Structures are given as C-alpha cells and as structure tokens.
Structure 1
Amino acid sequence: MTSSAASNVVPEYMSLKTLAIYAEVTTRTLQNWKMLGMPYIKVRGSVRVRRHDFDNWLSSFTATENTPPANQIDDIWRDVVAEVKNG
C-alpha cells in the first residue's frame, strides 16, 4: 500500500481528534455531540467512536424541506442543552 493510499484509510474506531478531522468539525463540537447522544465507547478513560455508528447517528440529522428555520433550531438546541445540564 502506498503512503497516499494509507492516508485515505479511515480507521474503524477513531479518537475524538481523528473523528474531528473525519467529520470536519472541532473536538469541542464532538464533546457537545456526546452530550446529545453521539455513540461512543470509553476504555480506561480513552474515548473512541466507531465510524459506522457515527455515520448512522449523524445521518439521522439530515435536513429536509420541512427542516425548521435556523432560529427554531437555535431554540431547540438551547432547550436540549438546558435539559442536559439540569439532568
């Protein structure tokens, strides 16, 4: 396998740092997504995310023509965060 081919291989289980690169988001965003139910495993303090589980979870948020306007999404987001904080 050439080095360029090896760099295109995505591991089955990813650290948050690797997942951030894969998903093109920050690790802070991934921390927030964990609170919203993003599937992950934790072994001896090390967080790993299975690529297939992440892809399936993320695809559940696919926008459609019926997706509410951004301001409604912001309101929903605030409600979810408040609920998580208050238990």
Structure 2
Amino acid sequence: MQRDLIEPGYFDLQALAAYSSCSVRWLRDRLVDRLRPLPHYRIEGKILVKREEFDHWLSSSHIVNSPDGLIEIVDSVVAHMRPSKRSA
C-alpha cells in the first residue's frame, strides 16, 4: 500500500535546511538577526519553524530587477558627469 506524502506544517532546522537549500548555520544566524529575525518556536529547546511563516518571511526578501534600461541610463548619466581625460 502506498502512503501519501504529507508536507509538514513545521520544520526543525535540519528539515528547513533541506526544504530551503540553506545551511543550518545560516538559518541559526537568521533566528537572532536584529533587523529581520526568522520567526520560530522553541519548545523545550527544540526549534521549529512554521513552513507558511518561513515562506512569507523569505518572500519578503524578494528583489525585483530594475526596469529595462534603467542601469544603462544611470551609467550614461554618471559617465557624462565624470571629467573627461584629455591629453595635455
């Protein structure tokens, strides 16, 4: 009989590392991050992270690429602001 796989609602750090492709060390550092700590629960010394909360926490770090051509425009403006090198 084949069992259905049920995705866990909570991960310990080892399972979260496998789920997220992040190291356990990196995840531990995020637990105590002063700016954006990773939401977690401590139950008798066991650290658990709710999958839904982790996904939300991670997605809040999403960086969207700049609009097309913006980098080129900025580079062009900066290039015009620099003094030109002329031979004396």
Q: Under TM normalisation by the shorter chain, which class is it?
A: 0.5 to 0.7
1:56 corresponding residue in structure 2: 56
Structure 1: 4+ residue segments shifted above 6 A: none
Normalising by structure 1, report the TM-score: 0.65
Deviation at 1:52, TM superposition (A): 0.3
2:42 maps to 1:26: no
Greater relative CO (CA pairs within 8 A, separation 6+): 1
What RMSD in Å do the two structures reach over aligned CA positions?
A: 1.6
C-alpha separation in 2, matches of 1:44 and 1:59: 29
1:11 corresponding residue in structure 2: 8
Q: Percent identity?
A: 30
Normalising by structure 2, report the TM-score: 0.64
Give the AA of the match of 1:45: G
**Gapped runs of 5+ residues in structure 2?**
67-88
Deviation at 1:64, TM superposition (A): 1.3
CA distances 1:3-29 after superposition (whole Å, capped 9, x unpaired)? 5x52xx320011000000000111001
**Gapped runs of 5+ residues in structure 1?**
67-87
| Residue-pair matches, total | 63
Indicate the structure with greater helix content. Answer: 1
